[in-house]
Structure 1
Amino acid sequence: MNLVNTIPLSSLFVLSLASILHAAGGKLTVTVSDEVTGQPTIARLEIFRGQPGEKLMPMRKVVASSVSPSATSPNSVGVVIDRSLELSFPDGIYSFRLTRGPEYRVIRGNFELERESFDDHHVVLPRMIEMIEDGWVSGDACVLPSPNSLPLRMASEDLHVAAVIGRQEAKPIPGRDRREEIEHSPTWIRDDVVYDQGLLYYGLSETNELVKTEELVKTEGPAETEGLVKMEGLASSRLANLPRQSERVRVAIENPFAWPLPVWIASERIDGIFLLGDWLQPDRKRISVEEGRNPEEPRTKDPAELGRFATQIYFKLLEAGIRLVPLAGSGNQGKATCVGYNRLYVNNEDTTYTYQASEENGLATRMETAESWWDAAWKGKSVVTNGPMLKPRLEGQVPGHVFSARSGDAVRLQPELQLSTRDPVDYLDVVCNNQIHYSARLDEFAKAGGIIPPLELTESSWVVYRVVTLYEDHYRAALSAPWFIEFDGKPRKTSQAAKYFRDWLSEYEAILMKLPPQELAKHVPYIRSARAFWDARISDSDGNE
């Protein structure tokens, strides 16, 4: 177990920066290096006008005109520092936040600038944990296209994999030759992703037979969304035409609150679902969704409620015997989200690959290709997070593993986890069949030596680890993909969970009944098929409630 906190280092940095920059003013040049390697590194800087305790104004509203437009990103918060960055400000007192994704500590502080003064400052950025050393490679499964360099933004967040909805040519990076590569390995980007009204198709090119020319729409307008490919027409129809068990094209539910979700699930063409997405953004609170089902009344107006609701929906799917892999990403509406804020860590452990140290960065990884990363992601060998760093195992196996047993057997499985976090943790728990097997505060977990009581199972089950922080603006958490335990080769299915989605379907039907008859008729075949699917699930359940 590795528990860390940023307060001591942050306080030290505040003191040193204040002593250097007090009455410095005017222009500031910042350079950043990695504490371990000592090499110049790429990071993200946020500057606010004012000091802690006051209402802060983000830097983009204060000095955007003094920063090269290519250094800022509509898809990000703050400014990317490409090893060094020169900034100029009006006179005043400022606060700042410097980071490089969730594996690094956050450096915070404040300083004062005065007229016609210049200063250079070098920041050593300390790493909290290095997930890739143990084979956990990070990715963002849904990124909006942007004219600003995605490899540069990925490096600033220590992100290695990205899936972009559409294509867009990036502008040159200031201070870099076009041929100069960004040293951040691996950097794997795919742009064969199509957005379809709450669904994402991976591996679906514009020439695919599923895509009709008249249904394709390329967004025009703001630079951050220009070139985004969307689909028109009925999504359920396209989904139904996709061959079952297609490995060439994978489909994920990007909006887990969408009203048609029970119809999409019933198509049996869905591979994954987003548990962390654009309803979780670092600089804003969101308590409801416009297009989809909101949490049931009474509402709490708690900004973490939507995040908890997405998790509850996923647990209900698992209870209904629906095995979808969890995903995370910036999302279709994540233009104000820094890339990789919501991310997926994937471990490809059971391949024949062995650790190979890179000559460039000295890191070890089992991932040799982007294909191997995505293959492991679709097998559920993963953790989703927007904060806590979680390395989970169950009886020595990474998530996605299926344990087999026979009737009459008693299966004993030992949970194990390593946790590193920058935020105070509210609780960590082990969830088995939508029931809490183990839950503890972090201090309780530490006092127990990081040991979790073993699971003893006599029926088909699923298990998920969850860590939830005390972050106030929204749901900040980490969840493992599930492990499955099958007795006699049968997955767990409960009638109660299946009824939950049949009721959801009934609510969706009531909404569709308000459509004109001609429009309603297009939905009827898919609604009937979905109703038959969920009725069959209820009849075929194992009776567990």
Structure 2
Amino acid sequence: MKLRQRSAHWAFTLGLLISAASPCLAAGGSLTLHLEDESSGQNVISRVEFYRGVAPSGRSEKPLPVRQTVSAGIGVVVDRSVVLELPDGPYRFRIIRGPEYRVINGTFELEKTSLDEKTVALPRMVDMAAEGWLAGDCCVTPSSESVPLRMASEDLHVAAVLGKRPAKPIPHRDADDPIGHDPLWVRTDVTCDRGLAYFGLDEQAAETFSSTENSLKHLVAVINSETETDVKIGIENPFAWELPVWLASGKVQGIFVMGDWLRLDKRVLAIRDGHAPSSFSLGEPTQVGRYAERIYRHVLDAGIPLVPLAGGGDASARTPIGYNRLYVTSDTSSVGDDVSSPTQPASEQAWWEGVWAGNSVATNGPLLRPLVGGKLPGHVFQGHSGEVLRLQPELNLAVRDPVDYLEVIHNNRVHYSARLDEFAKAGGEIPPIMAEESGWVILRVMTLHDDHYRAAVSAPWWIEFDGRRRVSQESVRFFQDWLSQYEQRLTRLPPEEIAGYVPFIRAAREFWENR
């Protein structure tokens, strides 16, 4: 057997684009690739993309399939190791294990009759679980591939799978060979129906309501049904024409701020079925994601306490599981504690309780661990007329992409905005918020990724003076205008169909007028 070594390098994506170099993987005939965690030395499962050639052939280039692996949507899942038996020639690869690890790029070459075996150590940037934050995907499309294996490959701990499909066993593993990724919680009692996601809706109820002719009647039917569990409702499509009516119902608890409009397999440049601003420009790749965040901010500023959700969405196609994810922690501090301490949720139920309490950050890249006034997201600050609350924003941040800016949003206005280098020069200090009235605060980090909106957005901290929430007339008008446009669209329907919408439109109109 004759081996040929060839000089190349691994390009590591480190924090703020710091790079390192190392020899390539060289082999021929076959190459056995082993993956391990750099710090612990333990074998790991990861998503890997393999490509023919040493340079990209185009943006639409698809990774090569590899035998004895599970598809990850884009690339394949390598379960600790894989034997690569491919036609002779040069290859390149990318190893991506969620946002907490650095991305590894490398090359190798295969020749006839040559054999080789290599181990690649994956460097971790930050251990969010060790810091008390567990990641979950709140909307996973059904798949014939193993959900637990794909979760482990993306360092994901929680998944809400649509369609009642149980988690399949992990292929090529014996019963006494555990996956070694803990915790790993999968729920399948999730249903999506015309823009709404129902969490905890039993299968019989879901089938019963599936024939309901519109999403408004479906929502009412679910609300009025007697189910064994407490059903939570999230807005899976924040652009839906029905949005102002859903908000007016007072029966939804969350809204997806990151979903299937943020995909790795294609650019989503427009909103096909829903409300879109006339200011959208042709081909601007980040505008849909920015608009989803803008909608969320108007929801908060209208005094509607929805928590953020994040996930693949029901049209996520090949986007890997957990690309859009929600990091959740448990807030175990008492009312009198000065500083909250993130605590890893002890159970699946505790994780979802953290979701609905708003102890969370949505992200598809930056790893943001924020505090305001020493408290975690979801906290409610109480004040009285005449006093001033001094609230100090703080954050820890780890990123792979270059950061465009980080911002503190207070009452839908930018309180603080800075480039990362400016933030560092200021000693990592953000000016305090001097709150004199009710309102809310969120933190966000925006990257320079140019294929779509890649960011981190926290759940809100609420400020209540004399027990009242802020209601902005600007945001109320935003949804009133949306409702008026929806009414105009409904007038195109046959009269017998319009009648089914009239009670909901009237109730929503009255809700926003009273607001």
TM-score w.r.t. the length of structure 2 is: 0.91
Select which of 473, 477, 482 maps to 2:455.
Answer: 477
Q: In the TM superposition, what whole-angstrom CA distance separates every residue of 1:362-415 from its partner, at most 9, and x where no partner exists?
A: xx9532110011011101010000000000000110000000000000111110
Is the Cα–Cα contact under 8 Å of residues 49 and 58 in structure 1 kept in the other structure?
A: no
SS of the residue 2:203 aligns to: coil
Taking the aligned partners of 1:172 and 1:82, their CA distance within structure 2 comes to 13
State the match for 1:27 in structure 2: 30
Taking the aligned partners of 2:105 and 2:113, their CA distance within structure 1 comes to 25
> Are residues 1:16 and 2:23 paired?
yes
Taking the aligned partners of 1:194 and 1:255, their CA distance within structure 2 comes to 13
State the match for 1:541 in structure 2: none
Letter in 1 for 2:23: S
CA drift of 1:350 comes to 2.0
Taking the aligned partners of 1:325 and 1:399, their CA distance within structure 2 comes to 10
State the match for 1:542 in structure 2: none
> Are residues 1:49 and 2:52 paired?
yes
Letter in 2 for 1:502: Q
Q: Which moved more, 1:119-128 or 1:172-181?
A: 172-181
Taking the aligned partners of 2:331 and 2:465, their CA distance within structure 1 comes to 24
Letter in 2 for 1:499: R
Taking the aligned partners of 2:324 and 2:15, their CA distance within structure 1 comes to 21
State the match for 2:4 in structure 1: none
Q: In the TM superposition, what whole-angstrom CA distance separates every residue of 1:140-189 from its partner, at most 9, and x where no partner exists?
A: 10001112111111111111111111123555534212553211111111
Taking the aligned partners of 1:486 and 1:55, their CA distance within structure 2 comes to 53
State the match for 1:159 in structure 2: 156
Taking the aligned partners of 2:62 and 2:175, their CA distance within structure 1 comes to 28
SS of the residue 1:527 aligns to: helix
State the match for 1:222 in structure 2: none
CA drift of 1:56 comes to 6.4
Select which of 263, 268, 271 maps to 1:281.
Answer: 263
Select which of 251, 262, 285 maps to 1:269.
Answer: 251
CA drift of 1:518 comes to 1.5
State the match for 1:379 in structure 2: 357
> Are residues 1:330 and 2:312 paired?
yes
CA drift of 1:233 comes to 2.3
Taking the aligned partners of 2:59 and 2:112, their CA distance within structure 1 comes to 21
Distance 1:117 1:167, change over 3 A: farther
Taking the aligned partners of 1:113 and 1:59, their CA distance within structure 2 comes to 20
SS of the residue 2:351 aligns to: helix
Select which of 345, 357, 363 maps to 1:367.
Answer: 345
CA drift of 1:4 comes to 5.0
Mapping for residues 410-429 of structure 1, pairs under 5 Å: 410-429=388-407
State the match for 1:306 in structure 2: 288
Select which of 87, 93, 97 maps to 1:90.
Answer: 87
Taking the aligned partners of 2:16 and 2:475, their CA distance within structure 1 comes to 41
Taking the aligned partners of 1:343 and 1:487, their CA distance within structure 2 comes to 33
Mapping for residues 380-395 of structure 1, pairs under 5 Å: 380-395=358-373
Taking the aligned partners of 1:244 and 1:128, their CA distance within structure 2 comes to 47
State the match for 1:349 in structure 2: 331
State the match for 2:239 in structure 1: 257
Letter in 2 for 1:308: R
Alignment coverage as a number of residue pairs? 494
CA drift of 1:196 comes to 0.9
Distance 1:181 1:167, change over 3 A: farther
Q: Which moved more, 1:475-484 or 1:508-517?
A: 508-517
Percent of aligned pairs with the same amino acid: 50
Is the Cα–Cα contact under 8 Å of residues 255 and 274 in structure 1 kept in the other structure?
A: yes
Q: In the TM superposition, what whole-angstrom CA distance separates every residue of 1:65-92 from its partner, at most 9, and x where no partner exists?
A: x513x5214xx21110101111222233
Taking the aligned partners of 2:117 and 2:477, their CA distance within structure 1 comes to 63
Taking the aligned partners of 2:14 and 2:115, their CA distance within structure 1 comes to 35
Is the Cα–Cα contact under 8 Å of residues 331 and 343 in structure 2 kept in the other structure?
A: no
State the match for 1:240 in structure 2: 220
SS of the residue 2:482 aligns to: helix
Q: Which moved more, 1:416-425 or 1:175-184?
A: 175-184
> Are residues 1:5 and 2:15 paired?
yes
> Are residues 1:320 and 2:302 paired?
yes
State the match for 2:190 in structure 1: 193
Taking the aligned partners of 2:148 and 2:201, their CA distance within structure 1 comes to 23
Q: In the TM superposition, what whole-angstrom CA distance separates every residue of 1:457-480 from its partner, at most 9, and x where no partner exists?
A: 111111000100000100000011
Q: Which moved more, 1:91-100 or 1:509-518?
A: 91-100
Is the Cα–Cα contact under 8 Å of residues 258 and 309 in structure 2 kept in the other structure?
A: yes
SS of the residue 1:162 aligns to: strand
SS of the residue 2:120 aligns to: strand
SS of the residue 2:42 aligns to: coil
State the match for 1:409 in structure 2: 387
SS of the residue 2:268 aligns to: coil
Taking the aligned partners of 2:333 and 2:390, their CA distance within structure 1 comes to 26
RMSD over aligned CA atoms reads 2.2
CA drift of 1:300 comes to 4.9
Select which of 28, 33, 39 maps to 2:42.
Answer: 39
Is the Cα–Cα contact under 8 Å of residues 160 and 188 in structure 1 kept in the other structure?
A: yes
State the match for 2:67 in structure 1: 67
Taking the aligned partners of 1:90 and 1:407, their CA distance within structure 2 comes to 74
Is the Cα–Cα contact under 8 Å of residues 404 and 447 in structure 2 kept in the other structure?
A: yes
Is the Cα–Cα contact under 8 Å of residues 461 and 492 in structure 1 kept in the other structure?
A: yes
SS of the residue 2:130 aligns to: helix
Mapping for residues 138-217 of structure 1, pairs under 5 Å: 138-169=135-166, 172-178=169-175, 180-208=177-205, 211=206, 213=208, 215-216=209-210
Structure 2 unmatched ranges of 5 or more: 1-12, 335-341
State the match for 1:442 in structure 2: 420
Q: In the TM superposition, what whole-angstrom CA distance separates every residue of 1:252-296 from its partner, at most 9, and x where no partner exists?
A: 000111111111111110000000001101232111121212233
Is the Cα–Cα contact under 8 Å of residues 49 and 59 in structure 1 kept in the other structure?
A: no
Distance 1:167 1:206, change over 3 A: closer
Is the Cα–Cα contact under 8 Å of residues 39 and 123 in structure 2 kept in the other structure?
A: yes
Distance 1:57 1:123, change over 3 A: farther
CA drift of 1:334 comes to 1.0
CA drift of 1:301 comes to 2.4
Is the Cα–Cα contact under 8 Å of residues 148 and 170 in structure 2 kept in the other structure?
A: no
Taking the aligned partners of 1:172 and 1:138, their CA distance within structure 2 comes to 21
SS of the residue 1:289 aligns to: coil
SS of the residue 1:16 aligns to: coil
Is the Cα–Cα contact under 8 Å of residues 193 and 204 in structure 1 kept in the other structure?
A: yes
Taking the aligned partners of 1:7 and 1:29, their CA distance within structure 2 comes to 29
Taking the aligned partners of 2:317 and 2:177, their CA distance within structure 1 comes to 27
Taking the aligned partners of 2:368 and 2:498, their CA distance within structure 1 comes to 46
Taking the aligned partners of 2:61 and 2:414, their CA distance within structure 1 comes to 41
Distance 1:170 1:116, change over 3 A: farther
Letter in 2 for 1:47: F
Taking the aligned partners of 2:111 and 2:122, their CA distance within structure 1 comes to 26
Letter in 2 for 1:429: E
Is the Cα–Cα contact under 8 Å of residues 172 and 178 in structure 1 kept in the other structure?
A: no
State the match for 1:227 in structure 2: none
